[in-house]
Chain A
Amino acid sequence: MRVPINITVNGEEYHLEVKPNRVLLDVLRDDLGLTGTKKGCGLGKCGACTILMDGRPVHSCLLLAAHADRRQITTIEGIAAEEPHPLQAAFVAKGAVQCGFCTPGMINAAKALLDANPDPDEAEIKSAIAGNLCRCTGYNQIVSAIQSCTLSKSDLQAAERGESNE
């Protein structure tokens, strides 16, 4: 048996027929060739498979592909077009990447946090990435990379003024 699904991945629409027992992670990696999303534990514990569904971080390893029907999916490949996303640049600059396996999931969780809350405090950052394990960096560099991308209220006001001047 196959289930027809319509999903938008990184802005592109796909009409797929998937077996009901497949999870979105495998469809992204094996069918669409989007191998940036990593398969770690496969049990929703490590967060390496974190993608954004309608802008919210979810484990693609625990999500039936059929449940992604009519959803907007963003993977690490869709985070930035040509230039790296500021978060990606910050991860590089702060040494927040070692083996890199957790990085796509971390960036997605961080992006969802900053989209919802541009000026999170350290506790909010740690809570947002609490579901993402990193076995290399000890998290300090990751938290510091995310902190360097936060926008304080005054930054936001300046940005708004900048726009209104244009």
Chain B
Amino acid sequence: MRIRSFDYWAAPSLEEALIELDLCRADAKVIAGGTDLVLNMKKKNIQPRRVISLHNLDELDFVKPDDSGVRIGALTKHADLAADPFLKQHLPILCQAVGLIGSWQIRNVGTIGGNICNASPAADSAPPLLVLDAQLILASKTAEKKISLDSFFTGPGATTLESDQILKEIVIELPKQPAAGCYLKLRRRKAVDVSLVGVAFQAETGSDGKTLAKVGIALGGVAPIPVRAPEAEAILVGLTLDEAVTKISDCAKIAVKAASPIDDVRATASYRRTIINVFIHRCAQNVLNTLKNGGGN
């Protein structure tokens, strides 16, 4: 599997990368870890003429807590995120999900920015980032824009990223009240395999610690893009933890409606719908139990 020849340039800084990208635009493909891009170049799905590499940009490899939340550099590797002590304490759902990406070998090279920009409908980082209301900072030569991840994906492999933009950071606000989350992923093999279904469930209580003030549910692998299930979330918001337990089945049924899965070689649409239902039950029970026992973060 030979990769077609291309011109290569390793950017020494983000600033220079953005200037170069502005000149090349759609002729160039930006590479981070390359675990997806190299594979796609081998398969001849993508055959760029020019590749701009960001692999030297340590300036984008960080997890930085700030006043209201945390900023994650786009080039932070999955393995580092999964093991980051601050994230493990405050946003464990993200660590859980990125810890399930690919294999250890993939997580040591693949980056969160690459996972997002590659825009696989089954990207494991997407459902937790959606329920955490993550924002993306997109940089171009002339400007920086902050957009919500919710409006970033437009289709399989497609995003609103302009040809002169690079994803720079992911910004997440931390829950202010006790919160808990859970991500479950269905796959055929214990490693490497892409998600057939990914379900993220995040809930935050009010200041009383007893009612649900915020609920986030997002699904991966079951629609052209990772999707949220706002109607299913609304069923649980405002309920006490005990009331919520009795409404999980209703919530799961409605959440399934947010999905539009397809039959493919990996699984049938109907199997994927069944699994969404099962996973919402498991996630919700896990999260509500954690909150009830005061184990949130």
Contacts and interface: CB of A to CB of B under 8 A. Distances in A.
A62 B39 contact: yes
B104 A109 contact: yes
A75 to B, nearest CB: 14
Contacts of B43: 43
Interface in B105-145: 105-106, 108-109
B103 A131 contact: yes
B34 A21 contact: no
A1 B191 CA distance: 36
A21 B47 CA distance: 11
Contacts of A62: 34-35, 38-39, 106, 109
A100 interface: no
A131 B105 contact: yes
Interface in A43-85: 43-45, 47, 50, 53, 56-59, 62-64, 66-67, 69
A59 B8 contact: no
Contacts of A64: 8, 31, 34, 38, 53
Contacts of A86: none
Nearest to A62: B38
B7 A20 contact: yes
B10 A131 contact: no
Contacts of B34: 62-64, 67
B105 A58 contact: yes
Interface residues of B, number: 32
B3 A21 contact: yes
B214 interface: no
B103 A21 contact: no
A43 B31 contact: no
Contacts of A1: 5, 7-8
Listed residue (A43, A62, A66) with the most chain B CB atoms within 10 angstroms of its CB: A62
Contacts of A57: 104-105, 108
Contacts of B42: 42-43
- Of the candidates A45, A47, A50, A67, the one having the most CB atoms from chain B within 10 angstroms of its own CB is A67
B84 to A, nearest CB: 15
A3 interface: yes
Interface in A90-145: 109, 112, 126-128, 130-132
Contacts of B109: 53, 58-59, 62-63
B55 interface: yes
Given A21-B2, A57-B104, A62-B38, A131 B8 contact: no
B4 interface: yes
A19 interface: yes
A45 B189 CA distance: 11
A23 interface: yes
Nearest to B7: A1
A69 B5 contact: no
B35 A130 contact: no
Interface in B1-19: 1-8, 10
Interface in A1-34: 1, 3, 19-23
Contacts of B3: 21-23
Contact of A44 (B2, B5, B192): B192
Contact of B39 (A43, A50, A58): A43
Nearest to B189: A130
B105 A59 contact: yes
A50 B106 CA distance: 10
A53 B53 contact: no
Contacts of B56: 69
23 contacts: A1-B5, A3-B8, A3-B10, A20-B5, A20-B51, A21-B3, A21-B4, A21-B6, A43-B42, A43-B43, A44-B39, A44-B106, A47-B105, A53-B109, A59-B35, A62-B35, A62-B38, A62-B109, A66-B53, A130-B190, A130-B191, A131-B103, A131-B104
Interface of B: 1-8, 10, 31, 34-35, 38-39, 41-43, 51, 53, 55-56, 79, 102-106, 108-109, 190-192
